A and B are shown apart, each in its own frame.
Chain A
């Protein structure tokens, strides 16, 4: 009787667990997202970069594509070379990587838009018979890739960013593209002002903040970036402009300092330490001298 009870309880627990495992919600991917296509045709170079990203970010759970060596999780992650994955659209894969679900993390904040597409390019390289659909067309200018140029207008103290769409090697100004500019600082980047949207000429203008510290020549390293990377990809332009204040601060390791190398120690410590050691050695030397005197005194005493 008791044994049967235990069996029933065990069975119930087991059933509960297996149900729990299957209870994961199905993916709910909006249609426009599933139909999304890559910003450009996949190339072997993209797949190669994608492989590096994949090894760093995906292998630990998904294993090597085609080797069926995924992590023993519940549910087991898909082998990304499997037909089940091959039959999914680019947009579906993109959405899954960006948003994640359950144990699959969302990578929208950890991977750049370009890298996500590179990873998809890498995954697709395992799918035989895969034909990539036409790269998506950006409505505003009918092309698929955007180009930025960054310029410093010295007289007006403004940065000008020009955005052009490229289609069949013909460039047309891209209107309505949101842009932001950044400058390099000690760690990471500093955003300058608010982001701006390009006008009909594809131009956006940013004020140069006053008193921005540059290098000793007053140069700043600037970067203009597209905000909506989802649509345009990681498009950016950068340049070095003499737009800041020249700042001539000595480097932190140039002067004598406690944190510097031994040869640049503060003078008082470079002095105090050897003097202290010398004082002790000198005193001990004097003691030895006294002992020598004790010895010779002993000789005198025995002569007497």
Chain B
């Protein structure tokens, strides 16, 4: 970073950053079309939810034995994907990794989107959603369900704060930008809480960001560990595992990183951010994805090979259904196309270019979703007590169209949150990018420019 850049050069460099970022804020035609499409889709799916509210959970494929189906699998996936915020801002940020600067805010927005909707996904699995409040009134402090509700809510809150804190200088910089509508400028001015960019303010801000980055680590680990305990605290085959916590957390990093890569690709293309989200960043994130995938592969080997070596009576039934039974096609597809092949491909530099990496990540994300399905559903199909005298659809779980639509609704909501946040706020951090480019006091320079 050249610290002796002349002021004029600093000004023009800053103007370019601000223009590139501010261009994408606000509502345009594309936004209308995209949100219109999402809204339409949401209403179709909400009709499915109306049917479920009217007729009860029986309209979903879940029955007495497999009572956790697509909803819970989707919930686990959502919690998993939301962990990316912690991985980027906290783990990499605190270790001083520099290339995360243009990526961090996207990661935080993804985290908020998934974590906020995860709670709603749970509600969609309730036959009587109006009784949600009973969790708080009658909840037992010993129950992982209460812990889960607590940590997920906390995580959403902390993620919001971690999105907001680094936004403050940017809001100030943009608050007098003529490219933005007046009301947005005023909102930014209000939200920037008197930011002047003084040394003291920067010290306070850095301190606050650091504290929250430390705090989010245990909370994020807790949300996914507790989610794994919802399963691991029972003695059911396939869930009764001591490594379920780290197994879930590493799997979460895989899903989240892959989703981040996809999001980056679309922002780079649609927001024309090629100068900020460069091939270098994709290359780095590709390497990160290889790393977390390898760790996850290691946990997979432990999770399946150890029980398969011993083959205890009930484990055998479960593993047989996964390895060669009717879940086998999904199981092997997930392991091959969602984990093994992506790892091998991403070892090569040319597959870490934006487009191929995005396509690989697509496979990884889809694989991650089905992996959650394989964690949640098959176990329930073989309980310890024999299943007797029940209709056929009690024995094998088959998701219905209605629950698929309700699950699609949750994805639509996540996309809506990501879209709105990325349209309402600068998607790339201006002040940090400016500092890295040797532009000092971007607040003052930007105000000069406006005047």
Docked CA distance A261–B147 (Å) = 16
A269 contacts B by Cβ under 8 Å: yes
Q: Would you list which residues of chain A between 235 and 270 have a CB under 8 Å from chain B?
A: 258-262, 265-266, 269-270
Q: Would you list which residues of chain A between 111 and 131 have a CB under 8 Å from chain B?
A: none
Complex interface: chain B residues within 8 A of A293 (CB): 204
Q: Is the CB of B196 within 8 A of A265?
A: no
Question: Smallest CB-CB separation from A257: which chain B residue?
Answer: B142
Complex interface: chain B residues within 8 A of A273 (CB): 141, 147, 150
Most buried by B among A266, A280, A286, A299: A280
Complex interface: chain A residues within 8 A of B329 (CB): none
Residue-by-residue, is A263-304 near B (CB-CB < 8 Å gives 1, otherwise 0)?
Answer: 001100110010001001001101100110111111101100
Known: A262-B140, A265-B140, A273-B147. Contact between A295 and B193, CB under 8 A?
yes
Complex interface: chain B residues within 8 A of A296 (CB): 194
Q: Which of B198, B208, B219 is A291 in contact with, Cβ under 8 Å?
A: B208
Residue-by-residue, is B263-286 near A (CB-CB < 8 Å gives 1, otherwise 0)?
Answer: 000000000000000000000000
Q: Is the CB of B157 within 8 A of A290?
A: no
Complex interface: chain B residues within 8 A of A280 (CB): 154, 158, 215, 219
Complex interface: chain B residues within 8 A of A294 (CB): 168, 193-195, 201, 204-205
Q: Would you list which residues of chain B between 157 and 211 have a CB under 8 Å from chain A?
A: 157-158, 161, 165, 168, 193-196, 198, 200-201, 204-205, 207-208, 211
Q: How many residues of A contact B (CB 8 A)?
A: 27
- Least CB distance from B450 to A in Å reads 16
Docked CA distance A289–B193 (Å) = 13
Q: Is the CB of A291 within 8 A of B193?
A: yes
- Least CB distance from B424 to A in Å reads 20
Complex interface: chain A residues within 8 A of B142 (CB): 258-260, 262, 265-266, 269
- Least CB distance from B161 to A in Å reads 6
Q: Which of B141, B193, B207 is A265 in contact with, Cβ under 8 Å?
A: B141
Docked CA distance A301–B158 (Å) = 29
Docked CA distance A198–B41 (Å) = 81
- Least CB distance from A105 to B in Å reads 14
Q: Which of A284, A295, A297, A298 is B158 in contact with, Cβ under 8 Å?
A: A284
Complex interface: chain A residues within 8 A of B100 (CB): none
Residue-by-residue, is B286-311 near A (CB-CB < 8 Å gives 1, otherwise 0)?
Answer: 00000000000000000000000000
Complex interface: chain B residues within 8 A of A266 (CB): 142
Docked CA distance A270–B150 (Å) = 14
Q: Is the CB of B212 within 8 A of A287?
A: yes
- Least CB distance from B41 to A in Å reads 35
Complex interface: chain A residues within 8 A of B196 (CB): 297-298, 301-302
Q: Is the CB of B141 within 8 A of A286?
A: no
Given contacts A283-B215, A296-B194, 20 further A-B pairs with CB under 8 A are A261-B140, A262-B139, A262-B142, A265-B141, A269-B142, A273-B150, A284-B157, A290-B204, A290-B205, A290-B208, A291-B204, A294-B168, A294-B195, A294-B205, A295-B193, A295-B194, A297-B200, A298-B193, A298-B195, A301-B196
Shortest 8 CB-CB distances between A and B: which pairs? A298-B194, A301-B196, A262-B140, A290-B208, A295-B193, A295-B194, A265-B141, A301-B198
* Residues of B in contact with A (beta carbons under 8 Å apart): 138-142, 147, 150, 154, 157-158, 161, 165, 168, 193-196, 198, 200-201, 204-205, 207-208, 211-212, 215, 219
Q: List 24 A-B contacts (CB under 8 A).
A: A258-B142, A259-B142, A260-B142, A262-B138, A262-B139, A262-B140, A262-B141, A265-B141, A269-B142, A273-B141, A273-B150, A287-B161, A287-B208, A287-B212, A291-B193, A291-B204, A295-B194, A297-B194, A297-B200, A298-B193, A298-B194, A298-B198, A302-B194, A302-B196
